[in-house]
Amino acid sequence: MLERGEAGKDIVLPLNRPQAFRSLMDTFAALQNRLADADSQFLDCNGFRVHYKRAGTGPTLILLLHGSFLSLRSWRRVMEPLAEQATVVAFDRPVFGLTSRPLPRDGGGARYSAEAQSDLVAALIGQLGFERAILIGNSTGGTVALLTALRHPATVQGLVLVGAMIYSGYATSEVPGPMLAVMKAARPVFSRLMKFMIATLYDKALRKFWFRQERFSDEELAAYRADFMIGPWDQAFFELFLTTRHLGLESRLPTLAVPVLVVTGAYDRAVKPEESRRLAADIPQATLEVIPDCGHLPQEESPEAFIAAVRAFLHRAAIPGLD
């Protein structure tokens, strides 16, 4: 069986037998080690081997959660500036980047639901040596950040929700029960179909995250594609898709009791600015920052404005431990 390796190269993964799946996981671990950067770090957490990068030494932790089809690369322009005030950690969320992709059939007990991802975030905070963190989440990373604050409030000091999917997309999608049963029973067929669709539409979809697409180079796009399409990425993404359900976050927003900053690009096409305005209005005492001349990824397209907005929010929030 062929899967995508580094820089578009094919690697041979084993066939569907128990011992072969153990070999598959060993193969992916070898990929992790080979593709890792000099500053890459790994830790085992909730059934995943999590890839992360760390900057700064402050007593407060800022944890960065990227959006779908991206990787921790999405924070490369803002990590060091934010690390002037705190310890900053960006990690590859499950299914993306160099974090492992366990599958149910390999005995690894893959856990890709939004709830499981929020549990992973809470556990990760502890394993990094902290009791609490400020979570900055973009797109579906914002969904998981918000859910973490709702499910594990003791671990979250503050939230920055950047084009967060709360009222649409990932947070509200759900496959009807009968169709879900069919898709589970025919996993290989549907995962191959999804693989074809994603591979075909990937470049166009990522470019739409940017307002001014000329700012997004072909080299950066290729790097993101290489980050995502490694190992059994199609099977793992399909497992994540099968767990997608309506999270009902809207009704729980008034219970948030931490400082919250909602950020939107003025020309966000993935999560309309109107949704972010609604989110800021629905969360008690949340503030809204609209960043002009950018789309769904302000941390990439307008990093200076993004950093200024986050720093101003942290100053207003007066979170202990921040310089």
Q: What is the pLDDT of residues 106-126, one digit of tens each?
A: 544 458 999 999 999 999 999
Determine, yes or no, domain membership for 7.
no
Q: Are 114 and 95 in contact (CB under 8 A)?
A: no
Determine, yes or no, domain membership for 138.
yes
Determine, yes or no, domain membership for 6.
no
Q: What is the pLDDT of residue 7?
A: 40
Burial of 186-220, coded b for 16+ CB within 10 Å and e otherwise, reads ebeebbeebbeebeeebeeebeebbbeeeebeeee
Instruction: Indicate the range of 5-19, 164-178, 197-211, 227-241 predicted with least confidence.
Output: 5-19
Domain interval for residue 176: 13-317
In the block, which residue shows the tokens 């990522």? Answer: 206
Mean pLDDT, range 229-252, rounded to an integer: 93
Q: Tell me if the pTM is above 0.85.
A: yes
Q: Which tens digit of pLDDT belongs to each residue from 197-224? A: 999 999 999 999 999 999 999 999 999 9
Determine, yes or no, domain membership for 106.
yes
Residue 59 has pLDDT above 80, yes or no: yes
Q: What is the pLDDT of residue 110?
A: 59
Determine, yes or no, domain membership for 323.
no
Mean pLDDT, range 276-296, rounded to an integer: 97
Instruction: Indicate the range of 69-73, 229-233, 301-305 predicted with least confidence.
Output: 229-233
Instruction: Indicate the range of 30-44, 144-158, 247-261 predicted with least confidence.
Output: 30-44
Q: In whole angstroms, what is the distance from residue 311 CA to residue 301 CA? A: 17
Mean pLDDT, range 72-93, rounded to an integer: 97
Determine, yes or no, domain membership for 117.
yes
Residue 13 has pLDDT above 70, yes or no: no
Instruction: Indicate the range of 34-48, 60-74, 140-154 predicted with least confidence.
Output: 34-48
Residue 24 has pLDDT above 70, yes or no: no
Question: Which CATH number belongs to the domain containing residue 270 in this structure?
Answer: 3.40.50.1820
- The radius of gyration computed from the CA coordinates of the chain, to the nearest angstrom, equals 19
Q: pLDDT exceeding 70 applies to what percent of the chain? A: 89
Determine, yes or no, domain membership for 73.
yes
Non-local (6+) Cβ contacts of 293 within 8 A are: 211, 212, 266, 267, 301, 302
Arithmetic mean of pLDDT over the chain: 90
Determine, yes or no, domain membership for 4.
no
Q: What is the pLDDT of residue 292?
A: 97
Q: What is the pLDDT of residue 20?
A: 44
Q: Are 64 and 93 in contact (CB under 8 A)?
A: no
Residue 286 has pLDDT above 80, yes or no: yes
Structurally, how many domains does the chain consist of?
A: 1
Residue 46 has pLDDT above 70, yes or no: yes
Q: What is the pLDDT of residue 74?
A: 98
Q: Which tens digit of pLDDT belongs to each residue from 163-180? A: 999 999 999 998 899 999
Non-local (6+) Cβ contacts of 131 within 8 A are: 125, 154, 155
Q: Which tens digit of pLDDT belongs to each residue from 32-44? A: 888 899 999 999 9
Mean pLDDT, range 38-65, rounded to an integer: 96
